[in-house]
Structure 1
Amino acid sequence: MSKLSFSLPRDRVVPVSSVEVRLDATSHPFELEHQLAIEENWRREREANPALFDGRLVLLSQVSYEQKRVIGRCHSVRYATLLYWRRARPAGAEHAYAHAALVSSDGALVAIRMGTHTANPGKVYFAAGSFEPMDFVDGMVDVEGNMAREVREETGLDILRLPRDDEYQLFSRDGITVIFRRYYMGEPADLIAAKISDFVARETDPEIEGPVIIRERDNLPDGVMPYMKAIIDWHFSG
């Protein structure tokens, strides 16, 4: 692959047997090139939402899909860099994250609605967050570890010992790639939602507003992220 290379199937769900994305210790070329624009956009973002925190996450500089393997390279960047990239969507970087799609015993999907103080206020998707430097083991991304950490932090649920699909799935559009896997909860959706609601009520500063139950693909909640429609359709299509 060339220095900057993004070669993934777009706008369709495809199976993934392994995710082999390495963390490069060097700065992302995109962040170096756009430093002034990143700072100016961060100032505007903070004025609109002072609760935002400029932590660290990763952006891709290379990624490809080869024989069901996702192979790539990423770099640690500021959260401010992601927000600028997300707003302007210039070339030179792409973003990937993982979703644990929780499936209830009655066949529903259990998602979450983000809190009003976050960068995605009111948006609906599965409990998730960007890959962070802590999500890499010996330089390689730990997708399952990221999923478990994010679900636990946002919902209080532990997915590490749950039955799950053998493979991941991937959906990519407009520079955003979602790697997802279904986890089977063994309880009805209403009970799972009640547990999440109880957890949120006990948190002093919860990330999410609460759970969202999705029971069919043609009746989606307000605020559902556009890419979620493809995942939901894939799930309910069998």
Structure 2
Amino acid sequence: MSFDLPRNVILPVDAIDVRLDPGPHPFAVSNAEAIADNWRQEIAANPALFDGTVVLLSALAYRDSRLVGRCHAVNYSTFMLWRKRRENSGAEHAYAHAMLVTGDNALVAIRMGSHTVNAGRVYFAAGSFEPVDFRDGVVDADFNMIREVGEETGLDLSKAERGQRYHALSTASGTVIFRRYRVAEPADELARRIGAFVAAEADPEIEGPVIIRHAADLPDGLMAHMKPLIEWHFAGAVS
């Protein structure tokens, strides 16, 4: 199976069957020394980094509107080296975005904090899949989305109206799985709530909210994969 899916096009996704393999990722096994060396350099540059556990794909395919794949738990230090050596590595990254849509049809993104790996970058609140995001060995993308939004913004999306299906965009840098989450509150109210949450946090992960009101409203620091998602939403795509 390896990696077999269309690139640079938004795909409708009706089901996600990405399973957690209990074995080590081949990239982690074959690059153990380089991972340790690189991690020493990373934490010297940014002591706030934490070597937690994330997952890295060893296979992903698109079949009959389904994403089917295999991933492995790896240390964050492994992921950091992979970011530098992703070409022909036998590994890829997938992550999920809750596309938060307000009552006045704006999108709510976040700007990452200065101490993070993606400092200053703008995207929808998100984080890599972790072992806690799997149910009976299969990833629960909605659980991941709701968990990450709650941790970064303080918002609880568990009762928000969800889009009928997922969508995915796969590029050379990774595959983003996204879904609309609609709430009744207007954008300014959500921005106020997120701002208050960030101000009360001792060590907030984000700098604050970023409101996007139309397709040309692209903020500085926007991650490259975000532009097609924003255009897709404001073009009136049905989800």
The verdict on a shared fold, with TM-score over 0.5 as the criterion, is yes
TM-score by length of 2: 0.96
- What is the correspondence of 1:34-183 to structure 2 with a 5 Å cutoff? 34-91=31-88, 92-183=90-181
CA RMSD in angstroms comes to 0.8
Alignment partner of 2:9 out of 8, 12, 27: 12
Aligned mates of 2:160, 2:173 — CA distance in 1: 31
Aligned mates of 1:117, 1:6 — CA distance in 2: 33
Aligned mates of 1:42, 1:168 — CA distance in 2: 34
Q: Give the drift of 1:44.
A: 1.3
Q: Does 1:232 align with 2:233?
A: no
* AA aligned opposite 1:27: P
Q: Give the drift of 1:97.
A: 0.5
- 3-state SS of the aligned residue for 1:226? coil
* AA aligned opposite 2:137: G
Aligned mates of 1:74, 1:175 — CA distance in 2: 16
Q: Give the drift of 1:33.
A: 1.1
- 3-state SS of the aligned residue for 1:157? coil
* AA aligned opposite 1:96: A
- 3-state SS of the aligned residue for 1:23? strand
2:190 corresponds to = 192
- 3-state SS of the aligned residue for 1:159? coil
Aligned mates of 1:108, 1:207 — CA distance in 2: 22
* AA aligned opposite 1:116: S
Q: Does 1:21 align with 2:1?
A: no
- What is the correspondence of 1:207-226 to structure 2 with a 5 Å cutoff? 207-226=205-224
Number of residues of Structure 1 aligned to a counterpart in Structure 2: 235
Aligned mates of 1:201, 1:141 — CA distance in 2: 32
Aligned mates of 1:58, 1:70 — CA distance in 2: 16
Q: Give the drift of 1:219.
A: 2.5
Q: Give the drift of 1:41.
A: 1.4
Q: Give the drift of 1:187.
A: 1.0
Runs (4 or more) in structure 1 with deviation over 6 Å come to none
Describe the superposition over 1:181-201 as per-residue Cα deviations: whole angstroms up to 9, x where unpaired: 011111110111100001111
Q: Give the drift of 1:216.
A: 1.5
Alignment gaps of 5+ in structure 2: none
Alignment gaps of 5+ in structure 1: none
- 3-state SS of the aligned residue for 2:169? strand
* AA aligned opposite 1:221: P
Aligned mates of 2:104, 2:4 — CA distance in 1: 37
Which shifted more, 82-91 or 158-167?
A: 82-91
Q: Give the drift of 1:47.
A: 1.0
* AA aligned opposite 2:152: E
Aligned mates of 2:101, 2:35 — CA distance in 1: 38
2:201 corresponds to = 203
Q: Give the drift of 1:175.
A: 4.2
